Structure 1
Amino acid sequence: MPRPRRNRTNEPVERPADLDAAIPFPPMEAELVRDLPEGDEWQYEPKWDGFRGLLENASGALRLWSRNARPLLRYFPELEALGDLLPPRSCLDGEIVIVRDGILDFDSMQTRLHPAESRVRKLAAEIPATFVAFDVLVWDGEEHWPAPLAERRATLEELAAGFVLSPATRDRDDALEWLDSFEAIGLDGVIAKRRDAPYRAGERTAVVKVKPEKTADCVVAGVRWKADGERRIATLLLGLYDDDGHLDYVGSAAVAPTRHDEIAAAVLPLLRDAPERRFSEPNRWGGGELEEAAVRPELVVEVRYDKVQGRRFRHGTKLLRLRPDKEPEQCTWREVRPPLEPDDPTLAGLLGSVPAGD
């Protein structure tokens, strides 16, 4: 028997008490792998950067469930209109996304998780979300989830008229091109799904995901000290230059104890005559309680990162090496946000249509 899926606090994800028994829950997950699998049994889709959602009306009312069994429709009231497209006792699996200026905007997703209904509805009118469907589990009372994905995808394309469907391809070369070009429009990688597998709630056995390994050269703009009173560096504070030559703070990179002396030798001399600079970052990045100091922006380091969210690296980066061969002025936003090339895919092209907020 598969182990029950657990949330971030390591507690089993509970099935919503009144969810129709015909609907499998929690949603299928994906295992992170380094390389896209190949073979006729695989189908490839974009990895959307939004909130996973099961859209269903099996109880009689339209509901949108998160992977952790939280009701989401309250935060995305503009999606209530999708209820008119679903026959009774139906369920689709998909992703809620927000598109702004042709790019997926995860920051705007997070602003929706607001306690005030008036604020949520204002944002829904100004920056509407889109539900991107990629699987059909139940339709008009008929359970499709036991069928292999190849059949479910054909059913989805046949029945889910009016819904925005995630594109899918069986061509691995196309999927590899997606990996190279998706970053510019905010997509998060590529998903590969076994076409011969049924929908297995909460499991990762038939779905894998690949994220492109990304590195960036950043300017060291400051340091954050360890809380041990010995003035040892805990993290480097990183910056990138915008088009106007302003150095934006973009995140941090932890300094491993084994590399502290090497990094300190290069960084500590830059504390002298450093410009006045303040750094701020949301608590989810951590470290806000530690003392910090600016340094002269003269040192470049290479870091590995997974995602840029707004004007920050979403998570902490991994420090790879010093780059004494590179000038700080060369570290710009273009390095992590390359401009779209004429033949790159666009969100409008992938989705067929985009929300009014685009």
Structure 2
Amino acid sequence: MQLPVMPPVKPMLARSVKGIPDPDAFGDGLSFEPKWDGFRCLVFRDGDKVVLASRSTKELNRYFPELVEALRDNIPERCVLDGEIFVAIGDRLEFERLSERIHPAESRVKLLATQMPSSYVAFDLLALDDTSYLPEPFSVRRQQLELALAGVREPIHLTRTTTDPAVAQEWFDQFEGAGLDGVVAKPLGKPYAPNGRTMLKIKHARTADVVVAGYRLHKTSTAARPLLGSMLLGLYNEEGALQHVGVAASFTDSRRAELVDELDVLRMDLDDHPWARWQDDDAHTEDRLPGATTRWSSGKDLTFVPLAPTRVAEVGYEHMEGTRFRHTAQFKRWRPDREPESCGYGQLEEIMKYDLSKVLI
């Protein structure tokens, strides 16, 4: 492989900002685009050779063989693209289905490539033929990207962009219904900066009242000084069962010690706990109970301290992935005014459905 931009290359990153930024504050302005909830991936193609590289520069070819073939059939013979791998079920992105593709068994990978084929959406151009576009401003890179991918077909796509902040705000409000993660803003006059936080990201932030039903000890915890590592959070479903929805984990060491003492009065026997079946792998698969071993957690100690489900906390979260918080939640405060039984899925914000085809070119 001989390209003007060669692997390994770490992709350009983004820093978080609150709200859609004013383009006038960024010199040549901003280009807005949807923030895709998938696997970041740089594509290097030189003739028949195609390399899919992750954000950490690891090769992803073996996990997405159908995508390698689709890229070989669709994109220019010599180019380097920046984009995202995603899996869409119907008209919505499904990150959990995408995560299932990272499997050690080749037979499983081949089966999922047929059952849940992946797609690729390109949003930047690093090189084309013998030209490196790293020094060029995004306005030039985007123009060349549109020309280079003018004839692509599914499952290869080009992301939509706009320079209108009002349209970007509309996308931010609507696109989550298609499983997207917010909006990204790129300075039109800036070059591509590998591993640099040149871009801006605007993500959804919400709060929910949840039941704290247990905790895990921190990895530095000792018998002499126990420290809370993460709170286990629950919401009641329509059948009245307490569903494990995620964890809250960001605390100072002093607060971790205080929380162990504070929650000690709530400790109870696992046999009497709503998640008493946590050691049953089948139950974990069915109800997302904490404690079962998966290929993601193999070798980790997932035991937890069960607590009487009587304490309610307010937590911040970005969005849901199925029945769970997509990322670690942020503890905000205790809610002694709330009854645990009132902490159900009904409180969560309803997101309108959005046709995924309207997000893609």
TM-score range, shorter chain: 0.7 to 0.9
CA distance, structure 2, for counterparts of residue 158 and residue 144 of structure 1:
14
Aligned position for 1:100: 89
CA contact (8 A) 2:176 2:351 kept: no
| Alignment partner of 1:331 is 2:328 | no
Aligned residue in 2 for 1:164: 157
Deviation at 1:242, TM superposition (A): 2.2
The residue type equivalent to 1:81 in the other structure is: A
**Contact 1:239/1:251, CA 8 A, preserved across alignment:** yes
Q: Aligned-pair distance for 1:57?
A: 1.6
2:256 and 2:108 mapped to 1: Cα distance?
47
Aligned equivalents of 1:179 and 1:148: distance in 2?
Answer: 25
Cα distance change, pair 322–199 in 1 and its aligned pair in 2 (3 A) = same
State yes or no: 1:21 paired with 2:4.
yes
Shift, 1:164, TM fit: 0.9
8 Å CA contact 1:65, 1:71 repeated in 2: yes
**Mapped contact 2:3–2:79 kept (Cα < 8 A):** no
The answer for the alignment partner of 1:209 in structure 2 is 201
Report if aligned partners of 1:76, 1:112 keep a CA contact under 8 Å in 2: yes
Instruction: List aligned pairs for 1:337-356, cutoff 5 A.
Output: 338-341=349-352, 345-351=354-360
Aligned AA for 2:240?
A: G
What percent of counterpart residues are identical?
38
How far residue 192 of structure 1 moved from its aligned partner, in angstroms, is: 0.7
Q: Normalising by structure 1, report the TM-score.
A: 0.79
- 1:123 deviates by 0.2
- Asked whether the 8 Å contact 1:31–1:204 carries over to 2, the reply is yes
| Larger CA deviation: 122-131 vs 309-318 | 309-318
Counterpart among 190, 197, 200 of residue 193 in structure 2: 200
Pairing 1:146–2:141 present: no
Q: Aligned in 2, Cα 1:294/1:182: closer, same or farther, shift over 3 Å?
A: farther
TM-score by length of 2: 0.78
Task: State whether residues 43 and 169 of structure 1, in contact with CA within 8 Å, keep that contact through their aligned partners in structure 2.
Answer: yes
Map of 1:282-293 to 2, 5 A cutoff?
A: 288-293=301-306
Residues 100 and 268 of structure 1: is their aligned pair in 2 closer, same or farther, counting only changes over 3 Å?
farther
Deviations 1:274-321 (A, max 9, x none): 5442332667699845541141x3332101234544543344322211
For residues 320-355 of structure 1, the C-alpha deviation after alignment (integer angstroms, 9 at most, x for no partner) is 11223333333233444x4343xx643232125xxx
Contact 1:233 1:264 in 2 (8 A): no
How far has the Cα of 1:222 moved from its partner? 2.7
- Match among 105, 128, 132 for residue 117 of structure 2: 128
Tell me which residue corresponds to 1:302: 314
Structure 2 Cα separation of the partners of residues 299 and 30 of structure 1: 36
Deviation digits for residues 210-264 of structure 1 (CA, Å, limit 9, x no counterpart):
2222222111223446754479672432101223332111122346644876896
Comparing 102-111 and 229-238, the one that deviates more: 229-238
Letter aligned with residue 209 of structure 2 = D
Distance 1:57 1:265, change over 3 A: closer
- The amino acid across from 1:217 in the alignment is D
Contact 1:19-1:59 within 8 A present in 2 as well: no
Preserved contact between residue 138 and residue 190 of structure 2 (Cα < 8 Å): yes
Structure 1 residue 28: deviation in Å? 1.5
Equivalent-residue separation in structure 2 for 1:204 and 1:54 (angstroms): 16
- Shift, 1:187, TM fit: 1.8
1:43 aligned to 2:31? yes
Task: Report if the CA contact (8 A) 2:80-2:127 is conserved.
Answer: yes
Go from structure 1 to structure 2 and tell me whether the alpha carbon gap of 1:233 and 1:31 turns closer, same or farther (over 3 Å shift). closer
For 1:301 and 1:286, the matched residues in 2 are separated by: 30
Quick check: 1:274–1:294 contact (8 Å CA) kept in 2?
no
Across the aligned residues of Structure 1 and Structure 2, the Cα RMSD in angstroms comes to: 3.2
1:202 maps to amino acid = N
| Secondary structure of the corresponding residue to residue 13 of structure 2 | coil
Cα distance in 1, alignment partners of residues 314 and 19 from structure 2: 23
Does the C-alpha gap of structure 1 residues 103 and 334 become closer, same or farther in structure 2, counting only changes over 3 Å?
A: farther
- In structure 2, relative to structure 1, the CA distance for the partners of 1:287 and 1:309 (3 Å cut) is farther
Distance (whole Å) between structure 2 residues aligned to residue 285 and residue 104 of structure 1 = 27
Gaps of 5+ in 1: 1-17, 353-358
- 1:38 is matched by which residue type in structure 2? D
Q: Secondary structure at the match of 1:244?
A: coil
SS at match of 1:193: strand
Deviation at 1:112, TM superposition (A): 1.5
1:112 aligned onto 2:96? no
Matching residue within 240, 243, 249 for 2:244: 249
Counterparts of 2:195 and 2:336 in 1: how far apart (Å)? 47
Match of 1:222 in 2: 214
Residue 194 (structure 1) shift: 0.7
